[in-house]
Amino acid sequence: MSAYPPVKTVAEFLDQPAEYQDAVRKIVRSHALNELYGAQVFDEPAIGLAPTPYAKWLTCRVAMEEYHHHVRFRELADQIGVKPEDMDTRNKRPLNIFEFPMKTWEEFCVIKMLGDLAEILQVEDLLHCSFVPLRNIARTTMPEEKFHAQFGADFCVDLVENPESRVRVQDAINRFYPEAPKFFGASGSKNNELYRKCGLKLRKNEEMRDDYIGRARDIVGKLELKLPEIAVAA
Amino acid sequence: MSAAVPAAWFSTLGEPLGEAEAADIAGYLAGLKLAAAPTRAVASWREAGEIVRAPAGRWWDAEEAERARLERIARLDPADREWLALTDALHGAAAVAATRGGCADQGLIRAAAGAATYAVHQYRLVRAAGGGDEHPFVRKYALFAGGHWPLGVYGDRFAIF
């Protein structure tokens, strides 16, 4: 982490250089939108796909937690001056992983297992960031993000015991995973360089992506399944 | 809607049912056009967890059909701040009750919170759509607000904790 001094309040934030403010706004907006997209296109529809009341109600709770993450980031976005139109999902194309056409419970469990893992890595980098209000949101949401990823992994453990659903889980991995590393952005990113200079992120995009691929491989390996081979773009 | 949770949520789990609860169960099942079912009184979190991990498609589908009908009349914002605060409070109430009942299963606690959340959402939909006190979702809400966790219809029995 850079030696950028802690920015403890929104008032202090407004005294920071423009490039710092812009960097924070980009990160906060990105998280607010990602949490909202995730809840809308995956978590809430998955209630209808879940096979039992237990799974449905648990998914309902997870959806509420994701919506709450969105609201926390959105409230901070409002406080730091992100324009309302920049927070409107109609004006901002979602990241590619949110365009995955989820239609089955197996797909949802894989999305939680591998998609929320990607979110965990993003939030991990914010746990010590220089903007304290953002750091605090990251620390508040992290336990729930970990639960959501574990939720996906636990259900996948159950699913792979059945030969037919095992095939469906592997198929969902094969189709969802190739887009997931793109969640971390391009190698050599100028934005990422600025984030690190401002003490907002710890690692380069390519470092986070490599870490993600390794962790995803471990998780999928425990299921005795495989990640598909992908070409990671520079 | 206030974010405050009425004190009774999850507070009478496993306690005997009274006449009012029996009437709400009968009204709930009839309202969903489900046949009257004998009641299975559930005594513990462990038993509740075993029951809700079984499929219950016919009952769930009946609820979902009614929810879909209501949502054609009224829509609610799932990201409303007060609503989210209420759902967190319901999670807290479920966690406290589970601790008292010797349950440390985080998944089951969240499922209980999710069940209560779903029930409140259904209740709010009824009210937003102009429904009255006899609506089955209002009956179910009354069972939750009275401290029980209605688990649904499994086989030919209505289970309630």
What ipTM was estimated for this complex? 0.93
B73 CB within 8 Å of a chain A CB: no
Q: Is pLDDT above 60 for B1?
A: no
CB-based contact (8 Å) between A44 and chain B? yes
Q: Which among B55, B84, B112 has CB closest to A67? A: B84
Please indicate, yes or no, if residue B5 is contained in any of the structural domains: no
Whether A72 is in a domain gets the answer yes
The confidence band for B4, taking pLDDT boundaries of 50, 70 and 90, is low
Beta-carbon separation of A56 and B60 below 8 A: yes
| pLDDT of res. A2 | 53
Cα distances from A210 to residues A2, A187, A217, A227, in angstroms, run 21, 11, 11, 14
A4 touches B at CB < 8 Å: no
Residue B36 covered by a domain: yes
pLDDT at A84: 86
- Summary mean pLDDT of chain A: 93
Give the least confident one: B2-16, B47-61, B110-124. Answer: B2-16
* Cβ-defined contact of A61 to B84 (cutoff 8 Å): no
Q: What is the pLDDT of residue B3?
A: 47
Asked whether residue A158 is assigned to any structural domain, the reply reads: yes
Query: Residue A4: inside a domain, yes or no?
Result: no
Residues of B in contact with A51 (CB under 8 A): 55
Distance from C-alpha of A169 to C-alpha of A155, rounded to nearest angstrom: 10
Residues of chain A with C-beta less than 8 angstroms from the C-beta of B78 = 39, 44, 63-64, 67
The per-residue pLDDT of chain B, averaged, comes to 94
Tell whether A36 is covered by a domain: yes
Instruction: Name the domain count of chain A.
Output: 1
What is the reported pLDDT for A89?
76
Give the burial string for A73-99 (b: 16+ CB within 10 Å, else e).
bbebbeebebeeeebeeeeeeebebbe
Q: Which domain holds residue A144?
A: 10-222
Question: Which pLDDT value is given to residue A97?
Answer: 86
Task: Give me the pLDDT at residue B5, please.
Answer: 63
Judge whether residue A93 has pLDDT over 80: no
pLDDT band for position B23 (cuts 50, 70, 90)? very high
State pLDDT tens for residues A19-72: 999 999 999 999 999 999 999 999 999 999 999 999 999 999 999 999 999 999
Number of domains in chain B: 1
Contacts of A159 (CB under 8 A, 6+ apart): A105, A106, A109, A165, A166, A168, A169
Range of the structural domain that residue B115 is part of? 19-160
- Residue B49 resides in a domain: yes
Q: Is A151's CB within 8 Å of B107's CB?
A: yes
Look at B117 and A60 and tell me if their CB atoms are within 8 Å: yes
CATH number of the domain at A186, please. 1.20.1260.10
Most confident of A83-87, A97-101, A206-210: A206-210
Average pLDDT over residues B68-87: 92
